[in-house]
A and B are shown apart, each in its own frame.
Chain A
Amino acid sequence: MENISLTTGLGYVSTFFCISSFIVGLLCIKFIKGYLVPLFLLVFISFVTDSINYVYVSENINNYYIFHLFTIIEFILISLFYLLFFRRYLHPAYLLVPIPVFLIIAFVDYKINGFNTMDNFSASVEAILLSVYALVSFLFIMRKLLFENILSEPFFWINSGVLFYFSGSLLVFAFSNYFLTFEPSNQYVLWSIPQFLNIFYNILICIGFWKARAQ
């Protein structure tokens, strides 16, 4: 019971920070250009999805399909974020090719798991791919010395957020269905990790949006 209240509490805080990053995005809307646009869209969709989830949970309706759909949208928008950032340096195909591949994976996941469980397979693949994107981005930034002052760059903060959130949540996503089936009580403790990381991720996105304004 305690575990459930911890997860629920963190869930509210997580939603609050999601709304916060959306509000900060709105405040800096004039400066949300280029690679920041897909991320602002993601923050908005994330806020809408969280709101719908609360309604579904209170009405006791199955909301797994929202998770399935959100994973796909999230992956496409974050891929676009990287694509728009790297379009000056890399051929877009490098970041466009994984999108249809991921859509196939999500479809296979839906065929195997349906909408009655978590999309643990596609969410894990998404976490791996986005962690790799973030790591490669850091490597690229270091090798090319793209920024004079890295701390003033929105990309640095958002990329750090992506790396923390997706690499930290990877194992939770991968084992979510296992815990859902075999150990539901531990599942709540486990879900507090992505929720906590989501708070951190949204804080870094807020900083990123704010840095765009400062720039």
Chain B
Amino acid sequence: MESKSSIDVFSLVMIGTMGMLILVAFIVLFVLLYQKKMLAARAMIKENDNIHQRKLLDASIEVAEQERKKIAANIHDDIGMMLNVLKLNLTKIQRNRTDETLTSTLLTNSNLLIEETIAAIRVISNDLMPPTLVKLGFIKGITELCRQVEASGIIDIHLLLNITTIQLEKKNEIQLYRLVKEVLNNIIKHASASTIELTINATVEFMTITISHDGKGLTNEMMQKLSESNEGLGLKSILSRAQLTNSVIQYISRGNEKAKIIIETPLV
């Protein structure tokens, strides 16, 4: 009886040990396979990320190209045309020096043309680099942008500032300004909104720009989908600028609530 019991214990120990070893072998195998699978998944995420980055880069290049085209068209169509007319006026004046009435009319006309050319150059220059932003900083630049939008009469815009100045890197300042401008532009073009509210808050670490409007809003998912499509160049440029400034941008749209776009930028 004692011997039988001893054999039972012996068998139990042997079976238990074998079971343990098989289990350990499975664990080691599982670790190897899981690691392989996870690394493949990580590589895929990295690849997708690279594709996304490439798309954003393409978009920012395309936006820059479009801006160049717009500037070229403005220079050619407005300034070029006005300077041509001015040249014609001067030639006419040269040929008809004796005709005082015609000379006087042409001079008045030329004077007007020069004024228009100066105004057109100012618009292009403002488009390229807003002087208020360059001279007085981000907050004043945004204030001026809101004033321009309000003055256009297309939409009501209310600016709420909880700070008076903010220290941003110069390159980030211009990128954030263009980001906000593109967001406002998108709201005006696509959201059918009648009022926009722009709030700027800041802590020691972050600056938060909240843009809310009463039009059709977007969610983060919709924004992502649209930015990945072939269209939505503006959205791609927004994402690209957000990435350049290390900002986090959120699109919030919930039922009857006002749609919101929150841009959070690190200040340190």
Contacts and interface: CB of A to CB of B under 8 A. Distances in A.
**Closest A-B pairs by Cβ, 3 of them:** A183-B6, A171-B13, A171-B16
Contacts of B25: 164
Interface residues of B, number: 22
Contacts of B24: 163-164, 167-168
Given A141-B35, A148-B39, A150-B31, A186 B21 contact: no
Given A142-B35, A167-B21, A178 B9 contact: yes
Nearest to A182: B6
A186 B10 contact: yes
A193 B38 contact: no
A189 B10 CA distance: 10
Interface in B12-69: 13-14, 16-17, 20-21, 23-25, 27-28, 31-32, 34-35, 38-39, 42
21 contacts: A138-B31, A141-B31, A141-B35, A142-B31, A160-B28, A164-B28, A167-B20, A167-B23, A167-B24, A168-B20, A170-B17, A171-B16, A171-B17, A172-B13, A175-B13, A179-B10, A182-B6, A183-B6, A183-B9, A186-B10, A193-B17
B38 A142 contact: yes
A147 interface: yes
A13 interface: no
A163 B21 CA distance: 9
Given A145-B39, A147-B35, A163-B27, A172 B9 contact: no
Interface in A77-95: none
Interface in A149-189: 150-151, 156, 160, 163-164, 167-172, 175, 178-179, 182-183, 186, 189
Nearest to B5: A182
Contacts of A190: 10, 13-14
**Majority secondary structure of chain A interface residues (helix, strand, loop or mixed):** helix
Contacts of B21: 164, 167-168, 197
Interface in A117-142: 135, 138, 141-142
Interface residues of A, number: 29
**Majority secondary structure of chain B interface residues (helix, strand, loop or mixed):** helix
A142 B9 CA distance: 36
Contacts of A151: 32
Interface string B178-208: 0000000000000000000000000000000
B27 A138 contact: yes
Given A141-B31, A171-B16, A179-B10, 4 more contacts: A145-B35, A168-B21, A183-B9, A190-B10
Nearest to B34: A142
Contact of A183 (B10, B14, B16): B10
Contacts of B2: 182
Given A167-B20, A168-B21, A145 B42 contact: yes
Interface in A58-112: none
A190 B13 CA distance: 8
B32 A150 contact: yes
Interface in A7-56: none
B13 A163 contact: no
B205 to A, nearest CB: 27
B96 to A, nearest CB: 83
Contacts of B23: 167
Interface in B82-112: none
Contacts of A175: 9, 13
A141 B42 CA distance: 15
B43 to A, nearest CB: 10
B175 to A, nearest CB: 34
B20 to A, nearest CB: 5
Which residue among A170, A178, A186 has the maximum number of chain B CB atoms within 10 Å of its CB? A186
Contact of B17 (A135, A172, A182, A186): A172
